[in-house]
Structure 1
Amino acid sequence: MSKAPNAADKEVGKRIRLYRREKKFTQPQLAHHVGITSQQLQKYESGVNRIAVGKLVEIAVALKVEMVAFFDRIPTVEPSNDNQLENPQFDFTHEALLMSTAFMSITQPMLRRRILELVQAVAAKEVEMDDFLAEIKRQPAE
């Protein structure tokens, strides 16, 4: 798998620059706020270096923009290897992003913990239900 930036990485960098300028931040100001050098921020914005998701979240928080702003209508990029998701039931690029962005906006720790427990319980029950239905299908009809 290639670690070189692709078209999507470059587009995210352009959007960082766009929102930084819109919010009237200089590169040194934003870089200092998120704990990186101005040079590193310049590399992200120009698409020379890929940006880690955690650092992108910090930038979004500093610029007060939703994470989806960096990805909305981003160009489709072909996978850089032949590995395919075995069961792509979840749209990682949109639904997961929306879910995590909404979750991160919840400020009360207890509420966040309860929502996490709810989602985990629903996921566990779904696995149990899938197992139950599979077992029914395996049993011969009477």
Structure 2
Amino acid sequence: MSRKPPNPVDIHVGGRIRMRRMLIGMSQEKLGESLELTFQQVQKYEKGSNRVGASRLYQIAQVLGVPVSYFYEGLEAASTADEGPDTGFDFELLSTTEGIQLNAAFFSISDPSLRKRLLDLIKLLANREEIDSPLEQASALASD
């Protein structure tokens, strides 16, 4: 008997739980203790493989210090991503360890002009990566 894939809404809510938990530096174990759950249950919520009920989501919001609506932010954009233009924004990246660390490190830079310069550098590197792609190289060679 095959399992159904998780509902995209459950995946989104779980990702937001994970992102907030990691942003405040809380472990799955600590969140589980606060909710009287095992860390495995927290893992299942975060992956979206188990749905979070309304009362449990309210408890999670209280423990993580956010309104319940926080867990649904970005859901509209995520659900219409396939239909609309590509904004270049990846909501899934934000819930990864690297995405959370990058975000926290970036905003820990207190000098706004330094943040702007770093952003300019990242854009420059991203453009360079597009230029250095194999397809771009092949196009450049073909036009020579």
Provide TM-score, normalisation by structure 2.
0.49
Q: Which structure: greater helix fraction?
A: 2
